[in-house]
Amino acid sequence: MKAKLLNDLLKTNGKYSRKSIIIFVTFIFVILLGTFITISDKILQREVNRYAIDVFNSLLLFLSVAMGLSEVSKKIVNKQVPINEE
């Protein structure tokens, strides 16, 4: 079941998609970084380094743009106009 889910997420037309793999890895990294920042705030009782939060925000923005571009490319590229040969 897990393998089917990963295949559905990462493969396009039977091939691994580079965009999908980058999105998947970035998503996991963003979740881990956000969890680390949140837990560190609770344990240290002060704000984590501001640059770590900026990196988190940048990765989240990158992830959003990559997912948007992936969806747009699926909608636009996969639409093929039929050619009438006369």
In a domain, 60, yes or no: yes
H-run or E-run covering 29: helix 18-44
Please count the structural domains in the chain.
Answer: 1
The more confidently predicted of residues 78 and 47 is 47
In a domain, 81, yes or no: no
Q: Which domain holds residue 44?
A: 7-76
Which tens digit of pLDDT belongs to each residue from 55-83? 989 999 999 998 888 778 777 765 665 66
Which tens digit of pLDDT belongs to each residue from 2-25? 677 666 666 666 777 788 888 888
In a domain, 40, yes or no: yes
In a domain, 1, yes or no: no
How confident is the model at residue 41, as a pLDDT? Answer: 78
* pTM of this prediction exceeds 0.85: no
The secondary structure of 56-67 as a DSSP string is HHHHHHHHHHHH
In a domain, 13, yes or no: yes
Angle at 17 between CA 75 and CA 2, to 5 degrees: 105
